[in-house]
Structure 1
Amino acid sequence: MMIPVTSLAKKTVIPSHSMPIVSLENLLKSGASSRLDKVVQTAKDTEALTATLKKRLESELAESLVAATVRDNELVLLASSSAWAARLRFESDELLKAANASGAAASSCRVRVAR
């Protein structure tokens, strides 16, 4: 089935897809809500870890820490610039200890620049 779309220049035909439309309510009642819950929990964990680590840093350096998370037993720190990333690398051992003290299970630390 083709759905005609009119424009000022010419008539364009866009193919319709047979994908069913699912209401948000039905989507949230299905198994997708467990996936959504996992995403929400990951975001909360990231926010909490970031706040914990920022408390360990001087204010200017804390502002440069965009986010902190643990991925595959590695603490990943996102810095706002390469200059701040270099400064965070100097603090990585202390931040790794602080992350583990807060309940994270990380054995190494990586500092990346946020894009």
Structure 2
Amino acid sequence: MYRLKDVLTPSTGRRNRLTRLLDRVADEQNMLEIVRSQLPPREAAHCIGASVKGTTLVILADSASWASRLRFHTNNLVEGLHHVEQFAKVEKAIVQTNATAARSLGPI
């Protein structure tokens, strides 16, 4: 656990942890918008997160029923995203719900 002072104070000329965290959030938000742009509007509205882990695109859905619907689009999604640099190495996509994703992250 970090103290607030440690998070806000730059360490030896490097960007502070808060800045790095905010940059990461912005990158993930950008990734989510790109993924949503490749989905039909109804499904895109229920896609609440996206990240790349190795060669796997992990998509987060807001419910199990919408996760099922999103799974039907994963192959086309992977093909459609290959032209985008952030997704060039993606070989497959998986869809999780909030609960599934929380369990896979483990304890905080």
Q: Provide TM-score, normalisation by structure 1.
A: 0.67
Identify unmatched segments of 5+ residues in structure 2: 100-108
Q: Distance in 2 between matches of 1:56 and 1:23?
A: 41
Aligned residues of 1:53 and 1:98 also touching (Cα < 8 A): no
SS in 2 for 1:41: helix
Q: Cα RMSD between the aligned structures?
A: 2.5
Q: Given the superposition, is the C-alpha separation of residues 96 and 63 from structure 1 closer, same or farther in structure 2, using an over 3 Å criterion?
A: same
Query: Matches of 2:22 and 2:82 in 1, distance apart?
Result: 22
* Corresponding position of 1:30: 11
Change (3 A) 1:114 1:22: closer
Cα 1:112–1:50 change in 2 (3 A) is same
Q: What is the SS of the residue equivalent to 1:33?
A: coil
Structure 1 stretches of 4+ with a deviation exceeding 3 A read 21-24, 31-38
By how many angstroms is 1:72 displaced?
Answer: 2.1
What residue identity is the alignment partner of 1:30? Answer: S
Q: Would you say 1:70 and 2:52 are equivalent positions?
A: yes
Please say which structure displays the higher CA radius of gyration: 1
* TM-score (norm: length of structure 2): 0.71
Aligned length: 94
- More strand per residue: 1 or 2? 1
2:45 and 2:94 map into 1 onto residues whose CA distance is 18
Q: Note closer, same or farther for the CA distance 1:55–1:40 as it changes in structure 2 (3 Å cut).
A: same
Percent identity (aligned) = 23
